[in-house]
Amino acid sequence: MSAKGVVVVGTDTDAGKTIVSAALVAGLRDAGLKEPLHALNPVCLRAPLSPLVAAREEGVELSLAASAVACREFLAGQDFGVIEGVGGLLVPIAPGHTFRELAVELGLPVVVAARPGLGTINHTLLTLEALKAAGLPVVGFVFSHTQPADPGDPSVKENHALIVEYGGTPFLGAMPYLGPRDELTGEALGDAVREHLDLSPLLKIAR
């Protein structure tokens, strides 16, 4: 499998897509992001809602075709790019279209970001099934601790193994909680990636 990039999708809102995307970028390149904001995020919506709802509130027209063009233009200028999804895989991003259809348009392999705790088995397996039903190749899944670990949740220890068993998808590791996102440093992120993630499947794609 060879591609110009990878798509990161989440099992839900706040499943850790941004941290996982940043971790993949940190692990795949040494330099920081140099691209202008409009290239990284061509449509910026204020409300923390699904893209289609937020766009309707702000009078913005969204288009699957335009989103796909923006992503392709970004990827054309990169050796390898990371496209971060919005919400979950089936979140509406334009009239009549969900993020899954954008992923299909791009045709890139996918990394799934998921919560590590109770409930993640069902959410992650449903996401994996939806990806496979669309014919999208899945590189693996990553757990992201978006909150401090809950010592009272005994499921965390076994969840990844059950998802591998039932979903037939590799586990790439778990990002630990690194503090609030606005206080996160590149150094801390890079150290966590080296210690906790297996990026070898992505490196094979990027070469």
Residue 33 has a pLDDT of: 58
Residue 45 has a pLDDT of: 86
The residues that bridge with 84 in the sheet, in sequence order, are 8
Q: What is the pLDDT of residues 107-140, one digit of tens each?
A: 999 999 999 999 999 999 999 999 999 999 999 9
Contact 144, 15 (CB under 8 A): yes
Smallest CA-to-CA distance from 145 within 32, 23, 7 is with: 23
From the list 17, 34, 132, 204, the catalytic residue is 34
Q: What's the predicted TM-score (pTM) here?
A: 0.90
The model's confidence at residue 182, banded by pLDDT at 50, 70 and 90, is confident
pLDDT reading at 2 higher than 60? no
The residues that bridge with 88 in the sheet, in sequence order, are 10
Mean pLDDT check: name the lowest of 33-37, 121-125, 195-199.
Answer: 33-37
CA 141/CA 109 separation, integer angstroms = 12
CA 178/CA 176 separation, integer angstroms = 6
* 34 carries an active-site annotation: yes
